Amino acid sequence: MKKEWNGDYFIKYVPGLTDSGYLDPRAKQEIEKGNEAAQMENTAEPSLQDMRDAMGWPAARDISKHPLTITERQTDRGVTVRIYERADLSGNVPVLLFFHGGGFFGGSLDNVENPCRLLADLDELKVISVDYSLAPERPFPNGLLDCYTSIVWAVSHAGELGIDPDNLSVAGDSAGGSLSFAVSLLDRTLGTYYIKNQVLIYPATISRGEERFWDLSNLKMKADQELITDYIHGFEASTDLVDKMYAENILPENPFISAAKTPLDQLAKMPRTLLAIGEFDPLRVQGEILFQHLQAADVDVTYLRYNGMIHAFMDKVGDYVQAADLLDETVKFILK
């Protein structure tokens, strides 16, 4: 995929989609199919299990090329982690802890199986995927503490795991991107400074946000305005339910649930950051606000905008070329 600098951040696009303002045809088809399915469903509210079962991308596939060793372990806190590594690795190598998406109430290790396989396949590093606890059964801060204590466990078992504790990164998509930021903030707040890099893939950066976090004027849509607007507003309508399940009794200004509300003096301590968002992701506006705040705090931050893309495109590895490209960019960033 071509990468182009626009003066503030990098724009990535596939051949045939070289201009901003247009949906990728695959993304457009995805939205339209989603709308058709919604119209065919009955009007009853889906159950929590229904919403969890709907997560993931059936067309995703494994495109790794090297033999991989995949094992599951339990951390000292009882959190299940799945460890991915190339079979030819030797010595202590960099490690990436990955936190899956799913609105804090869904998602699983299986949902990010193929992305984690590819991350481990691309270079000499180990990937530890964390099965953190979910809301509403275990709301904030349980999931965050699972993520942080998994990092502590990895560092304390570095020799056994064959990882370099001084070269540890975190990454996650959507809710997992939010947790990646929150766990980095907790790492700095507690003074442990375990995390060298963070990769935030279309993270939610605000809880119960103001209208400006949903301002579509900056998207500069040149086609399919109604389709895109309805898609984004539909996503916005679901956020109240997510907030209530995950952090109903937490003040929305708390930076551990609202990254974009983090004071600059705290942001200044954050690790090197890669932020990646689709052009028409409902979370793009709030993600870019966080990007601007990180810049203002003089954090080493890189922003990649994937033209034509919508939310959750990383899930589509093996199906969307943008997904594989994003994972490749992730590995290059953390090993730089």
Active site residues: 174, 281, 311
Neighbours of 52 (CB within 10 A): 18
Cα gap 184→194, rounded to integer Å: 8
Cα gap 129→68, rounded to integer Å: 14
Neighbours of 245 (CB within 10 A): 18
- What are the backbone dihedrals phi and psi of residue 71, each rounded to the nearest 5 degrees, phi first? -130, 160
Question: Amino acid letter at 52?
Answer: R
Q: Which residue has the tokens 């599951």?
A: 72
CB 278 within 8 A of CB 202: yes
Cα gap 2→97, rounded to integer Å: 28
**Tokens of residue 93, six digits:** 């190598």
Nearest to 99 by CA among 161, 145, 43: 145
